[in-house]
Every structure is written in C-alpha cells, then in structure tokens.
Structure 1
Amino acid sequence: MAADLKAKFEGKWVNVKSENLKEYLEKAGVGMIKKNIALQLTPEMVISVEGEQINVSITAGPKTTKASYKLGEQYDVEGDNPGKAVTTLVDGKMNTVITPNDTKLKPHTIVRDIVDGQLVQTMTTDGVTAKRFFQKSS
C-alpha cells in the first residue's frame, strides 16, 4: 500500500487553480483578513512516503504547515484551526477527516486524488465544497 501511495502522490505540487475557495474558507471559520490573504497565495505541497509514514508539508507565503501520520491512525492538526485527524485510503484516494478542537466548527473532509496528472484536493465542510488543483513540479 505504501508503495502505491509513494508512486501516486509523492513529490512537490504547486497550486494552479482553485474553485469555491472563498466560500469554503468562510464556512471553515477563517477570519476575513486571513481568508483574503489565503485567496492571494499559491501554496506548494510536498508529499513524501517513508515506509508506513506519510509526510505532507504545505507552504503558503511565509507559513509552512506539516503533518506526519500513518493511515488509519489519529494525529494532531496544527495551524489556525487545530484539531484531530484521521487519513485513510479509499479507492486510491487519500481521505482525511479533521475534527476541529473548536466545537463551534464543523468537521472538514479533504480528499486527495490524481486526475489527469494533477493532484486534486477536494475540501468539504458544513455542506460547502472547494477544490484546489496542483501540478507536479520538478
């Protein structure tokens, strides 16, 4: 399983397009200033697989967020809306469910898949879905 993940997802990915991101960030509880900044940034994501350990690093502007985890095991999510997360592999897609520590916020689902050579990240919370499209970088 780890070899499949490594072959499919590992590498450096650069955001080339986003859909419905503003609405998603609003539902996710992101404040106006941070939301406006986020909408202007072009994030880069680096995914590596080392044995059973998956490492995801996302850099947007001066900020880098990192997560390291094993499939099916709960881990801590840091950042503006910290919480607990579990990532599983379903039909070749990485599915992450994040439960924020702030009980006023709804859980988030992030699904990562490779479609036509792009990494497509579909994010859903409280009935609102956004997509971010990433192109592999050398």
Structure 2
Amino acid sequence: MALQGFTESLAGKWLLVKNEGFDEYLQAMGVGYIKRKLALSFNTTMEMIKEGEDSIRIITKSAKNMDTVIKIDEEKEEADPFDNKIKVKVSWDPATKVLKTESYPLEGSNAKTALVERKILPDGQMLMEVTLPNDNLVCKRYFQKQDS
C-alpha cells in the first residue's frame, strides 16, 4: 500500500501558524518587496487528501491558490507557485511518515531546484520545510491541524 499511514498523519486541513525564513525564500525566488510583505500577511491553509491507493490531492489557499493531484513516485510536469515550469516527484515514507517533494526546473524555466518535506512534529503541528540547495536556504512553515 503506497500511502500506508498517510490518512492518520498528514491528511486533513491545516492552518499556517508560523514562518521561519519565508521572506528570504520569497526573495530567493525573485519576489519583490511589496509582494513578499503581502504574502507574509495571508492566512494560508493547506488541505491534503488521499485519492485512491497512490495519489494525494493538495489544495493550498493563500496569495496564490493551488489545487494539484500527485501520484506517489511518479514524475510530473507542473507549474510552481510562481508559474515557473518544473518537474515534480513526490514520495511517501510510511516508516517515518514524511511526504517528500522534489522539484527541478524545466529547460528555459526560472524555477529553482527545491526539496519540500512535510512531517508531524511531537507537538502535533505539521512542519513543511522547503530547502533550496543551490541557494543554501531553508524555509520552515508550521501548520496546526483544523477540525474538519
């Protein structure tokens, strides 16, 4: 079973409660000052839903709303939140309950190589850690689970 343990851990609706390094991340992605400050003011929610045996739907509501379905361990071409063309692969580790997204820019894209890991912390919050390895930058976003 490709998504064993997902429903009990990451599935559900999450509300952003804290950012660390988000402004620096947006700056590295080429977002201007005013748009960065605006993005920092949004109440971001993320909903993750298991679809079938091997797919996850992620709905993000923020400065830019996104709704995507990703099949586990399958590469897919997408657009990042900044409308850059990327190749994405999502994996799920049932032992550690970590959802990992690796993305790479497609030729001619202004995207950056990124690694996103989502996991549950001991206090019940979800940590979404975004790493831009070529910029030596890590952004941490903390989410609290919401009642359905």
* Unaligned 5+ runs, structure 2: none
Q: TM-score, normalised by structure 2?
A: 0.83
- The residue aligned with 2:131 is 124
Looking at structure 2, the residues matched to 31 and 84 of structure 1 have their Cα atoms a distance apart, in angstroms, of 25
TM-score, length-scaled by structure 1: 0.89
- Once the two structures are TM-superposed, the CA of residue 70 in structure 1 deviates from its matched residue by 1.1
Task: Map 1:95-114 onto structure 2 (within 5 A).
Answer: 95-101=100-106, 102-114=108-120
Structure 1 residue 82 displacement after superposition: 3.3
Query: Which residue in the other structure is 1:6 paired with?
Result: 7
RMSD: 1.7
**2:65 aligned counterpart, secondary structure:** strand
**Equivalent-residue separation in structure 2 for 1:94 and 1:12 (angstroms):** 15
User: What residue in structure 1 maps to residue 91 of structure 2?
Assistant: 88
Q: Which has the higher strand share?
A: 1
Alpha-carbon distance in structure 1 between the residues aligned to 2:38 and 2:109? 25
Matches within 5 A, 1:7-86: 7-51=8-52, 52-61=54-63, 63-78=64-79, 79-80=81-82, 81-86=84-89
Q: Name the CA shift for 1:84/1:32 in 2 (closer, same or farther; >3 Å).
A: farther
Residues 1:120 and 1:37: Cα distance change in structure 2 (over 3 Å): same
Residue identity matched to 2:112? K
Q: Structure 1: any 5+ residue segments left out of the alignment?
A: none
Are the equivalent residues in 2 in contact too, given 1:29–1:105 (CA < 8 A)?
Answer: no
Distance 1:23 1:57 in 2: 24
Mapped contact 2:127–2:140 kept (Cα < 8 A): yes
- Kindly indicate whether the alpha-carbon contact (under 8 Å) linking 2:90 and 2:102 is maintained by their aligned counterparts in 1: yes
Q: Percent identity?
A: 29
